[in-house]
Structure 1
Amino acid sequence: MLVHPSRFWNMLARTYARRPVQNQTAYQYKLDVTRQNLAPQDRILEFGCGTGTTALIHAANVAHIDAIDYSSEMISIAQSKAEEQGVRNVNFEICAFENWPVPEADQKYDAVLAMSILHLVSDLDETLDRVRKSLKEGGLFFSSTVCLEGFQRFAIPALGTIGVLPKIRALTQDILVERLQAHGFISEHTWRPEDGSASFIVARSKG
């Protein structure tokens, strides 16, 4: 790859932070569904948190959030936003998910969020395994994932191969649901507003 993923997102961070959400209605739907499944005592992990918008929105509904991203610029923006908003229960850290410690049994998370990140991970199975190990029995995993259709399944990953974009995994919703099931999750809610849009899945860990 011509540009390392962390460097790519560092370069894009300020522009990304200023860019409005493409589909505000869909984003609000995902926020609402997630919020309905959270409790005031919950401890949450969000990996690939970007500039922290989602974590900061959910902060009022839970006890604590660990929000991580391997882009130092994204985390810097997130920390500034938290300070400006007076949010004290979100811990933003520069860290890749594969390097974030799996918690001990009594410290496992009630929920894990992965919004717009699973199609970018280098090893999907390893990532899902770490998610399951990080969750309490019956804990929830919320994900929103780019699912490629038709010509996109070949064209967009090719741009990642030559270094124009970060490497993007050619996932479909069916493949993602199947991999979740293989790693001990039960899909409780699956939603896409339209073909070609991200797939939003709420899955529960079987322990």
Structure 2
Amino acid sequence: MYDSAKFWDKTADKYAAMPVRNQDAYDALLDQVRAFAAPDSTVLELGCGTGSTAIALAPSFDHIVATDVSSGMLEKGREKAQDQQVGNVEFVLADPTDAPAGPFDVVLAFNLLHLLKDLDGALSEIAARLKPEGVFVSKTFCMPERRDLIWALITVGLPLMQAIGKAPFFAKLSAADLENAFTRAGLTIVENHKAPGKDPRRTIVARRSE
């Protein structure tokens, strides 16, 4: 059911030990999530990894369901939550197509959408899990507009890594590709901006279209 689960299971220990590369940008993203939702909100996070984001947001919300396709990642998340005495985060093995139905006030997907083979299907499922006026907050890698070093690594180096099982599926999305996919899924974009500096990831905040 989960094509990439074995890859992420193998990297769970290493992933859990990785520091946040840009703490200021990460904190700003969490503040953005808090600004769009009330404290009594129910939250669904897709692709939660080892649970760092869900645990960081836990004091701000009523209940968070954190999902991932990797049981190894989820186990690390449960350990973190227990160590930090966080009791309102529920870790569930699921991908966007079979995640708990909710509906939820907030759905999150950070560093996930470019790893999905069926983006349209995933976004449709995400829209279906939002309450009316619910908000979807995502951060997604988009291909640089110029052929820089990052572009070269993705187009030349990544296929080699994938061939030997050292990298997962990776969709080479442009910003326009991503925006159009949101529209097709019935999601209305209310905020859309690129990360600062050379970071090619794009943050999009959207609401379910009525």
1:110 to 95, 105, 112: 105
C-alpha spacing 1:178/1:156, structure 2 compared with 1 (3 Å): farther
1:154 counterpart residue number = 155
**Number of residue pairs aligned between Structure 1 and Structure 2:** 200
2:205 to 183, 202, 207: 202
Q: Is 2:190 the counterpart of 1:188?
A: yes
> What is the rounded CA distance, in whole Å, between the counterparts of 2:129 and 2:160 in structure 1?
33
Code of the aligned partner of 1:203: A
The CA deviation string for residues 54-106 of structure 1, in whole angstroms up to 9 with x for no partner, is: 01111111111110111111101100111111111110112222222434xxx
Question: 1:157, 1:170 within 8 Å by CA — same for their partners in 2?
Answer: no
Code of the aligned partner of 1:21: V
Runs of 5+ consecutive residues of structure 2 not aligned to the other structure? none
Q: Look up the SS of the partner of 2:97 in the other structure.
A: helix
Q: Look up the SS of the partner of 1:98 in the other structure.
A: coil
Question: 1:160, 1:167 within 8 Å by CA — same for their partners in 2?
Answer: no
> What is the rounded CA distance, in whole Å, between the counterparts of 2:80 and 2:72 in structure 1?
12
Question: 1:46, 1:65 within 8 Å by CA — same for their partners in 2?
Answer: yes
1:176 to 178, 181, 184: 178
Question: 2:96, 2:126 within 8 Å by CA — same for their partners in 1?
Answer: no
Worse overlay, 193-202 or 59-68? 193-202
Runs of 5+ consecutive residues of structure 1 not aligned to the other structure? none
Code of the aligned partner of 1:88: G
Q: Counterparts in 2 of 1:31-180, with a 5 A limit?
A: 31-103=30-102, 108-149=103-144, 150=147, 151-152=151-152, 154-155=155-156, 158-159=159-160, 162=163, 163-180=165-182
- Calculate percent identity across the aligned residue pairs: 35
> What is the rounded CA distance, in whole Å, between the counterparts of 1:35 and 1:196 in structure 2?
23
C-alpha spacing 1:176/1:78, structure 2 compared with 1 (3 Å): same
Worse overlay, 50-59 or 87-96? 87-96
C-alpha spacing 1:71/1:123, structure 2 compared with 1 (3 Å): same
TM normalised by structure 2 equals 0.88
Displacement after TM superposition at 1:194 (Å) = 3.1
The CA deviation string for residues 12-48 of structure 1, in whole angstroms up to 9 with x for no partner, is: 1111111111122221111111111121111110010
Displacement after TM superposition at 1:125 (Å) = 0.2
> What is the rounded CA distance, in whole Å, between the counterparts of 2:143 and 2:176 in structure 1?
11
